[in-house]
Amino acid sequence: MRRVMLPAQFVGTIMLMAALSVGAPAQAEGLGLTGSVKSLFVRSRTVNGEAYGLSLNRLRVEAKGDVAPGLALDLQYDNELLFGSYLDTAEFRALKDRASLQYWRADANYIERGDIYGRHRLYRAAVTLTRGNVDLKLGRQRIAWGTGRFWSPLDILNPVNPLALEREERVGVDAALLEAKLGPLSRASLVYAPAPDRGPASRALQWHGNAAGVDGSLVAGRLRGLGIVGMDVASQIGDVGVRAEAAGLDPGGGPGFNRWMAGADYAFATGLTLSAELYYNGAGSRDPAGYDFAGLRSGRLTSLATRYAGLFASYEITPLLKWMTYAVLNADDRSRAVDSRLVWSVAPATDLTFGVQHFTGTAGSEFAASPNAVQVQLQWFFR
């Protein structure tokens, strides 16, 4: 299968112009323009020890809604400018030329000098056709399977990374998603996602339903080269939310393995919210000597060991100030990671975030290889 490659600077500009041109008259159909402006500053080191500063500035324009009866659009265009000493590091030079994991090459850089790097892309680009109780969604989209906050054995197309600097940014997948509503709380889904570079396409079925207050899903197929048979459940025990996922996976060229996750969530009346997860990764290694750090840096892997624990805590200090922390323990090598942030609503639709990431562990452990980081984010949402 030939990979589709388009001149992204042309596509992005045309899409943005089209969205702006239809924004006003399309209001009657329900299509509107929204978006955000974000500035992110990071001070850290590369994995090779090079100290750097990075300023990432992003304009995101979103056009979402119904353009005709039974036809909906989700178009999100990003334009980014990067500044700082990070552009001079070997790590950035390697990452900027890394091949995309997506089938449709809808991104490109338009400025590349020593002190500035400009790029743009289609972050989301999908249309949804609806006929009765059946939806067909085509294009770049987020397919959110599973219930995990830290880890998800079922979410292979868009894997979770709780320690990402921009945790809310989830790379989409270019796919066709067919969903049939079977009842008020049940549906059947079929996904087909072609792979880049003539790799095997992803194909999977999911059934989701609810019985006696328990949500559950069954998944079977092949996703990113892994055969999968799995399930998830979510329910309430008193005031505690409970979640679990389990999957048997077959890489095709080696022994199969299992992954599972169990989690719980509780919200106190004081404004404190806690979530905890345990994760088992049968494809990982208990010995740090067997860690595949290259796979982690390439994005092919999201974890290296077999046993993990995660804790999330958030507290609303005031209606305008919120604290949140993600903490992860690698139970095999005892390395640890903490991501703590303060989010301040400094104005309507404007958030200012201060964050620190701290990693500890012995030499050779998973998180010891990750550099500490300090970040500041300012984001304004417009409509």
Q: What residue has token string 């609810």? A: 210
> pLDDT at position 115, please?
86
Give dist(CA 279, CA 242) in Å, integer. Answer: 14
Give dist(CA 4, CA 19) in Å, integer. Answer: 23
Give dist(CA 193, CA 172) in Å, integer. Answer: 11
> pLDDT at position 6, please?
39
Report yes or no: 106 and 148 within 8 Å, Cβ to Cβ: no
Q: What residue has token string 């069954």? A: 218
Give dist(CA 256, CA 249) in Å, integer. Answer: 6
Angle (nearest 5°) at CA 174 between 168 and 180: 90
The two structure tokens encoding residue 301: 């892997």
> pLDDT at position 166, please?
92
Give dist(CA 309, CA 307) in Å, integer. Answer: 7
Spatial neighbors of 76 by CB under 8 A, at least 6 apart, are 60, 61, 62, 63, 122, 123, 124, 125
> pLDDT at position 196, please?
84
Among 374, 259, 357, smallest CA distance to 305 is for 259
What DSSP letter does each residue of 251-273 carry, written as one string?
A: -SSS--EEEEEEEEEEE-TTSEE
Q: Dihedrals φ, ψ of 291, to 5°?
A: -70, 140
Give dist(CA 375, CA 357) in Å, integer. Answer: 8
Spatial neighbors of 324 by CB under 8 A, at least 6 apart, are 312, 313, 314, 315, 340, 341, 343
Report yes or no: 243 and 259 within 8 Å, Cβ to Cβ: no
Which secondary-structure segment (H or E) carries 19? helix 8-23
Number of other CB atoms surrounding residue 111 within 10 Å: 10
Specify which residues 63 forms β-bridges with. Answer: 33, 75
Give dist(CA 343, CA 320) in Å, integer. Answer: 8
> pLDDT at position 65, please?
94
Among 329, 289, 368, smallest CA distance to 45 is for 368
Give dist(CA 293, CA 95) in Å, integer. Answer: 15
Q: Dihedrals φ, ψ of 16, to 5°?
A: -65, -45
Q: What residue has token string 């982690």? A: 296
Give dist(CA 259, CA 302) in Å, integer. Answer: 13
The two structure tokens encoding residue 300: 């092919």
- Splitting the chain (383 residues) into consecutive groups of 10 residues, what average pLDDT does each group show? 38 39 45 93 93 97 94 96 95 83 88 92 96 97 91 90 87 94 94 88 96 95 95 96 97 92 96 97 94 82 93 96 97 97 96 97 92 97 92
Among 173, 68, 75, smallest CA distance to 130 is for 68
